[in-house]
Structure 1
Amino acid sequence: MSVPAVAPPCADSLKASYKTAKAALLERFQSATNVDGLMHALARATDDALKGAWETCEMPASAALIAVGGYGRGELAPYSDVDILVLLPDHETPDHTASLTARIERLIGMAWDLGLEIGSSVRSVSQCIDEASNDITIQTSLLEARRIVGNEKLFDTFEGRYQQTLDPRAFFQAKVLEMRQRHAKYQDTPYSLEPNIKESPGGLRDLQLILWISRAAGFGSSWRELDSRGLITEREASELRRNEGFLKTLRARLHVIAKRRQDILVFDLQTALAESLGYKATSSKRASEQLMRRYYWAAKAVTQLATILIQNVEAQLFPSTSGITRVLNERFVEKQGMLEIASDDVFEREPNAILEAFLLYEQTRGIKGLSARTLRAIYNARDLMGRDWRGDSENRRLFMAILQQPEGITHALRLMNQTSVLGRYLLNFRRIVGQMQHDLYHVYTVDQHILMVLRNLRRFAMAEHAHEYPFCSQLMGNFERPWVLYIAALFHDIAKGRGGDHSVLGMADARRFCRDHNVGADDSDLVVWLVEQHLTMSQVAQKQDTSDLEVIKQFASMVKTERRLTALYLLTVADIRGTSPKVWNAWKGKLLEDLYRATRAVLGGAELHAHSELKSRQEDALALLRLETVPENAEKALWDKLDVGYFLRHDAADIAWQTRVLYKHVESENPIVRARPSPIGAALQVLVYVQDRPDLFAGICAYFDKNGLSVLDARVTTTRHGYALDNFLVAHPDHDGHYRDIANLVEQQLSTLLTAEGILPEPSKGRVSRLVRTFPITPRVDLRPDERGQYYILSVSANDRQGLLYSIARVLAQHRIGVHAARINTLGERVEDVFLLDGKTLSDNRTQIQVETELLRAIAA
């Protein structure tokens, strides 16, 4: 007697079963803490529902239903998307049969009816492989593919082909680029007041990324496996599991409370979430504040450990670039751009070396961060950073030196905060790490806001950012001992959360710091005054009638000196900009600038300090022009078209030479090219002035490449009326140093080239030096928007070779990305180039990743 076939379940019974199962799981989760158990159980319940739908729709035996993405891992948050793939044989696609198309449509429709947030795709095996090779997002989602139901052999075929085409190195580079882009979207900080648990730096996505790249490389797909392979220590694995569990729990409970997919810790849900986890409000702390502080410390730990892990994975994937690059001193070496301790016990033997590490990080060109070994040693040395360490005179000297370096201050202090060194050196700073500000004005925690203010002050002092706030850059260029402002920035909000007026309480901290660190009396008074008055100028500008002369006089009598006024203005602009990207606007800027100018007039100060660098360069240039019998005021035609950054990037001699050449041709329709032997060395200086266009920079670089001229320096300026004013320093490796005889030839050829339009040639593959072949470095590309989002800043680090600059410029030109400014920096056999790029094309995320990928390929030696 034949056994009757079991009828497939009907849609209504499937829906009821799934709804009941999910409700029971969520009810149990309300009183339980096992988030992994919940997420795995939800995935199993979803599997059962989809299997039933597959049977009900009578899907063909040749096909398979595949879970991808997070669902492929066997994990589902309560209201996560359910990403599925209907996998078909190569010879069988929906286009071939209407019956198959109807079944697939019915399956997806039934999945939606079940209450699943479906994300679906239908592909053959070959289509999967092709799509994965062209899209890193698809490649990542397929990495964790898992068969739910259907043809097992077909799935095995897919897995085999996928693994064959997976390139672990390319996957690693693409995911790291993607991570940087994602971090930039969240201002490179986990400390937003409403962070995204999944996507923000230090969130779940960072943990998933580590496991993805480890799995792709065959190093393991769990923390235990990474521990056993030696990529992390047992303690680090435990920390990762603990923080991952906490973040997963937050996300799951947030979903349950919101009754929908909700990954952002919005203010509205923070209190309910905190209370669901057992936090209770106290007289001084809200329940939400306690929860968020715990979140920030978890995100901070994830950020630190992720940095260590990514470096360790990179070292194994690229072993040829993992050796020592150079010895810095007895305590530190450089390994491929990372600062590494010479021995594991260096901090135990010499605790002063902890701060020395951050000073070297600032001082050593080419150092991009601390190595995994150094980060581990700092973490293990935290017990050494006590009262005696803080009071040590050498440590105080080192800390002041960190604040007084010409560059790298912001990065160093951020790194000190990430590694908890800053909070252990400044104990009151530790109290505000992760402290929220419930004023809907600041979008960062107190510690991150302070570091943002410091960053803004530093940007005023950097020529490549002069286009953002030219007046502030002009004032900062004339300000003596700018490190005084950096100390004021560190302390202006350090007393928040203690009760009382944080400005008054912060004064005491600032005064004590200045006394302990031997800051001069005048500078100490200025720092303390700035901390006390850091809100005053903003309040006067925005809340008082500054057209009333008495208001200006009263403000001037409080300020007393132009140095105080300038310091307060710069700190105020930096402070407002450091609250939120949305708070600053042009109107606030005008109010503050008008108040500054009016107050300075009352004080009777000069517009610029007599010995300012900026004014000095202009006056020296004018003196040189008079010697050349250039008519008086003739320079204005050109200078009025140039921003502050131009004058900061060129010395007086270059400004005079370029002005003499161009003052009669400011509106020229024809290219102006002039060349001369460089006054600073054996090289040719080439000036190009022409109406700007996207491929201009690449075209000029192509000419130099074709003629064997290496670009030693490039200073690119775009005038206010759309002209490119570019200055190049070029040299030929086989030239005898006498460049005067080729200057006229370069002028003629380059002028002709700029007049004609042509296709950019393929870049030449110049030979790399023996030193480069022996000590190769990993090429690095960093592309991110500037403060205003108008431009993008591209940083490139690579081995130097002939044609490298043109290779970069050609990629940019092919995507019609204009170069607004450039700084070429050659450090022996290595280049560290920075470009300011037009940002319209780069606003598209896919295009940005494509450009970064092509640049990496172009700069590889």
Structure 2
Amino acid sequence: AERVWYPLWDAGLKLGHQVGTVAQLLDVGAENLETATSLLAARVVAASSADGEALVDDLAERALAQWKGRSRQNLDQLQGAVAERHARFGEVAFLLEPDIKEARGGLRDVHSLFWVEQATVPILREAESAGLAAAFEMLLEVRVELHRLTGQRADKLLLELQDDVAAALGLADADVLMAEVSAAGRTIAWTGEGAARRTLRASRRRGPMKALSGIRRREVAPGLVLDDGRLELTDDADLGDPLLVLRYAASAARHDAYLQRGSLERLADHAEPLPVPWPAEARGLFVDLLAAGPAAIPVIEDLDQVGLFVLLVPEWEPCRSRPQRNAYHRFTVDRHLMEAAAEASRLVGQVERPDLLLVGALFHDIGKGYPGDHTVVGVDLLTTIAARMGYEGDDVDLLVAMVEHHLLLPDVATRRDLDDNGTIRQVADAVGGTVLLGLLGALTEADSIATGPSAWSNWKAGLVRELVERTSHVLGGGDVGDVVGGSFPDAAQQALLDDGTFVVRGEGLELTVVAADRPGTFAKVAGVLALNGADVLGASAHSEHGRALSVFRVGSVLGGEPDWARIDEQVNRALAGRLAVAARLGDRSRTYRPIHLTARPARPTMTVDNVSSATATVLEVTCPDGVGVLYRITRAFAELDLDIVRAHVQTLGSDVIDAFYVRDQFGAKITDPEHLAEVELSVLRWVAVDF
């Protein structure tokens, strides 16, 4: 046996091994799930005689009999192992770098379905088998190419390998590859979920719950019967009713039930598009479906898997399984839209038009499935969708405006000065009324939470809430001067400025620095913070009488406060010209080079906004994240003697979008095109610096 094992191990192959009699192997299989499932696939690789082949055949036959005889225990263990594996590896359909073997919807799930069928009667429906086979083949081809490209056993489809795998499979690009991988993962996960439910129902009918079978059945609507958490069509359901699909879906979501696969197949075979425009009842049922919140997601997924959701909304097709391929977004486009609508269902009590909030949330990113600017495309698409659904006049205008302005509040709140009159007026002019403002406020929260954990925080929520409140005051006829100005510097900060002493004070997650007003002060402090792993989330600056106040808000470092004593000492040295900030950042950059989890890092750009503020020029810089990027940008400003009044720093996945309110050395806005061109040249060169 060792003469077989060692050459395989030397070749880098994974090999599980066991030596024993048939009885011994069966004993191990009775106690160990992995061994038991391996024995189900026992086959002859090599045998010295016909007796050897017969021995393996006997092992396989007896292993199958033992597996069936222990089906209850085996399936319980298998269910636990599958759940643990899914929790560990996530989902193939939605991960930026999925493990195509072990994650939910991966190859191992297909193996698990085979093992379940070996323990019970066949559980896959005929309509499911073909889709499952195609999905399995797709992921298997990807895995083969992964192994070939890496020269080793690799199951994780890393970002840097996706283009090569796509090319090897003859696909146009990695986006197409990941869409197909996502679709395959969804199909496998969906099929497995249905099979698990049928297995559970079958075991209940054989077990102590058998006596209750049928007692829980009740008709919840004409043609719809709820049976132990499953909603099914009755035999006499009117399949010619064009509203039956929506009635079935809305009822299932309302009762938090799942759709019976046989009923879904019947509907898919007979359903026709709704009349255009939709009847009011159809529109109401669609809103009812979305209002069910998280319970609506598996229902929409069921409809989508059999082609019924695209029948309702044809524009949905290009969004299906479409990857976003960055760490900031945790879901594909279609799943993100479902999640946003589910999150919006919690917020319907905050708006005047709950129905528009739900529909707008579901379609706010519909343009991402199409070429071009997704907002511009989405406006055109939703105009068509809203009219088809039967919305008219002002309702269509509101829905379209939700798509057009769905990024307005988060962008302004995190990148503009809310104490500037121009900021509030600009938002008020864009929104035009409190109804839309309320819808956008709720949509911002729902969209952000559905995007991913880094997209919504107490800080961002507070800024958006403050922006909505101030804008609402102005839209209600109030004076903008009532709600802006005066918050920075506050009385305590002004006292520090007036005191005339040098101050470096770190408390909690905030650093306050008062020093002589010299070009480069802001950059040096930002550099010291970067040296200590403290990410700057926002900063404000104010200068008068030759002194400058800078306040930096930072993220936690390893879950706690930064080492303020060390930072204090280094800031003092940096401002005294006794710390080589750039050189030290170079050393740190080479040691802690960030991993860019995005398919397309942001191209460095600088945009100029001389409208939002009456007193400063807003420069917005977008670039890939990296060690000391804020230092590099502000070092570029210092080179041209620009005064930073306020900074809003934001990291989106692997990219940063930083906005700076700046003035020239005379305290004026920068309007000269040649001067602005020099600023842009300096910024883009410094951003590109590789320490």
TM-score, structure 1 normalization: 0.48
- Give the partner amino acid of 1:172: L
In structure 2, relative to structure 1, the CA distance for the partners of 1:551 and 1:453 (3 Å cut) is same
In structure 2, the residue corresponding to 1:265 is in which secondary structure? coil
1:434 aligns with 2:321: yes
Per the TM alignment, residue 378 of structure 1 is displaced from its structure 2 partner at its CA by 3.6
Contact 2:264 2:303 (8 Å CA) reproduced = no
2:118 counterpart residue number: 215
Amino acid at match of 1:578: A
Aligned-partner Cα distance in 2 for 1:234–1:415: 16
For the Cα contact (< 8 Å) 2:338–2:362, is it kept in 1?
yes
Aligned to 2:109: 206
Please give the residue correspondences for 1:364-379 in structure 2 after superposition, counting only pairs within 5 Å: 364=255, 367-379=256-268
1:500 aligns with 2:372: yes
Given the superposition, is the C-alpha separation of residues 305 and 288 from structure 1 closer, same or farther in structure 2, using an over 3 Å criterion?
same
> Residue type matched to 2:452 in 1?
S
Q: Give the match for residue 13 of structure 2.
A: 116
Give the match for residue 355 of structure 1. 246
Deviation at 1:346, TM superposition (A): 4.2
Cα pair distance change 1:246/1:578, threshold 3 Å: same
Letter of the 2:158 counterpart? V
Question: Larger deviation: 589-598 or 501-510?
Answer: 589-598
The one of 420, 435, 447 equivalent to 2:334 is 447
Separation of aligned partners in 2, 1:434 and 1:127: 47
- Once the two structures are superposed, the pairs formed by residues 657-736 of structure 1 within 5 Å of their partners are none
Q: CA deviation at 1:290?
A: 2.9
Deviation at 1:178, TM superposition (A): 4.2
In 2, Cα distance between equivalents of 1:237 and 1:159: 25
Relative to structure 1, the CA distance from residue 143 to residue 259 in structure 2 (aligned partners, 3 Å threshold; closer, same or farther) is same
| Contact 2:279–2:390 (Cα < 8 Å) also in 1 | no
Match of 1:409 among 284, 296, 299: 296
- Higher RCO, 1 vs 2 (CA within 8 Å, ≥6 residues apart): 2
Match of 2:363 among 481, 491, 502: 491
- What CA deviation, in whole Å up to 9, does each residue of 1:308-351 have, x standing for no partner? 433443444332457433231442222322112212x8464434
For 1:170 and 1:335, the matched residues in 2 are separated by 26
User: Does 2:101 align with 1:195?
Assistant: no
Please point out which of 196, 218, 243 is paired with 1:327. Answer: 218
Q: Report the residue type matching 1:353 in the other structure.
A: L
Q: How large is the RMSD of aligned CA atoms in angstroms? A: 3.9
The residue number in structure 1 matching 2:179 is: 293
CA contact (8 A) 1:190 1:200 kept: no
Percent of residue pairs bearing the same amino acid type: 28
Deviations 1:379-399 (A, max 9, x none): 434xx3346588566544432
In 2, Cα distance between equivalents of 1:180 and 1:557: 51
Aligned residue pair count: 466
Instruction: Tell me what 2:285 maps to.
Output: 398
Residue deviations 1:607-635 (CA, integer Å, cap 9, x gap): xxxxxxxxxxxxxxxxxxxxxxxxxxxxx
Give the C-alpha shift of residue 274 in structure 1. Answer: 2.0
Over 3 Å counting, the alpha-carbon distance change for 1:257 and 1:293 in structure 2 is same
Map 1:643-662 → 2, pairs under 5 A = none
Secondary structure (helix, strand or coil) at the match of 1:495 reads helix
2:367 counterpart SS class: coil
Shift, 1:272, TM fit = 1.8
d(CA) in 2 for partners of 1:137, 1:190: 26
Q: Does 1:564 align with 2:436?
A: yes
Aligned position for 1:792: none
Whole-angstrom CA distance in 1 between matches of 2:143 and 2:293: 43
Residue 232 of structure 2: SS of its match in structure 1? strand
Contact 1:308 1:375 in 2 (8 A): no
Cα distance change, pair 243–514 in 1 and its aligned pair in 2 (3 A): closer
Query: Quick one: distance in 2 between partners of 1:566 and 1:167?
Result: 58
Provide structure 2 residue ranges, at least 5 long, that are not aligned to the other structure: 479-691
Report the residue type matching 1:416 in the other structure. Answer: L
CA separation in 2, counterparts of 1:263 and 1:241? 19
- Offset of 1:207 from its aligned partner? 1.2
Tell me, yes or no, if the aligned pair for 2:42 and 2:59 is still in contact at 8 Å: no
Q: Is the 8 A contact 1:347 1:377 kept in 2?
A: no
Residue pairs, 1:577-596, within 5 angstroms? 577-596=449-468
In the other structure, the counterpart of 2:524 is none
1:534 deviates by 0.6
The answer (yes or no) to whether the contact 1:312–1:372 under 8 Å persists in 2 is no
Q: CA deviation at 1:249?
A: 1.5
Q: Which residue of 159, 162, 168 corresponds with 1:270?
A: 162
Secondary structure of residue in 2 paired with 1:442: coil
Q: What code does the residue aligned with 1:255 have?
A: H
Between the aligned partners of 2:126 and 2:146, the Cα distance in structure 1 is 30
**Does the CA contact (< 8 Å) of 2:280 and 2:390 recur in 1?**
no
Q: Distance in 1 between matches of 2:87 and 2:306?
A: 20
Q: Could you tell me which of 69, 72, 76 is aligned with 1:169?
A: 72
For residues 113 and 366 of structure 2, what CA distance do their matches in structure 1 show? 35
Give the counterpart letter for 1:371 in structure 2.
Q
3-state SS, counterpart of residue 334 of structure 1 = strand
Counterparts of 1:456 and 1:359, CA distance in 2: 17
Q: Give the distance between the partners of 1:277 and 1:235, measured in 2 at CA.
A: 27
User: Of 135, 138, 142, which residue of structure 2 is paired with 1:243?
Assistant: 135
Do residues 260 (structure 1) and 152 (structure 2) align?
yes
Residue of structure 2 in register with 1:709 after alignment: none
Contact 1:334 1:340 in 2 (8 A): yes
Contact 1:562–1:603 (Cα < 8 Å) also in 2 = yes
Shift, 1:174, TM fit:
3.9
What is the letter of the counterpart of residue 316 of structure 2? F
Query: Are the equivalent residues in 1 in contact too, given 2:293–2:341 (CA < 8 A)?
Result: no
Bigger mean CA deviation after superposition, 294-303 or 494-503: 294-303
Counterpart of 2:383 in structure 1 is 511
Contact 1:546 1:595 in 2 (8 A): yes
Q: Verify the 8 A CA contact 1:556 1:603 in the aligned structure 2.
A: yes
SS of match in other structure, 2:140: helix
Contact 1:410/1:454 (8 A) holds in 2: no
Q: Residue 369 of structure 1: CA displacement?
A: 0.7
Q: Corresponding residue for 2:425?
A: 553
Counterpart Cα distance in 1 of 2:114 and 2:81: 15
**CA 1:196 to 1:584, structure 2 compared with 1: closer, same or farther past 3 Å?**
farther
Give the Å deviation of 1:570. Answer: 2.3
Listed as ranges, the gaps of 5+ residues in structure 1 are 1-50, 55-106, 220-225, 282-286, 462-475, 607-861
Asked whether 1:479 is paired with 2:351, we answer yes
Shift of 1:130: 8.2
Distance in 2 between residues matched to 1:385 and 1:257, nearest whole Å = 46
Counterpart of 1:357, as a letter, is Y
Matched position secondary structure for 2:324: coil
8 Å CA contact retained: 1:402, 1:409 = yes
Q: Secondary structure, in 3 states, of the residue corresponding to 2:361?
A: helix
- Conserved 8 A contact 2:276-2:388: no
Deviations 1:251-310 (A, max 9, x none): 11121122222223333222222222222x4xxxxx333333333333333344334433
1:509-560 superposed Cα distances (whole Å, 9 cap, x missing partner):
3334334444475544332221110111121122223343432333234334
- Deviation string 1:473-510 (CA, Å, 9 cap, x unpaired) is xxx54334433211111221111243333223322333
Going from structure 1 to structure 2, the CA distance change for 1:134 and 1:571 (only over 3 Å counts) comes to: farther
Deviation string 1:590-611 (CA, Å, 9 cap, x unpaired) is 44344344444555699xxxxx
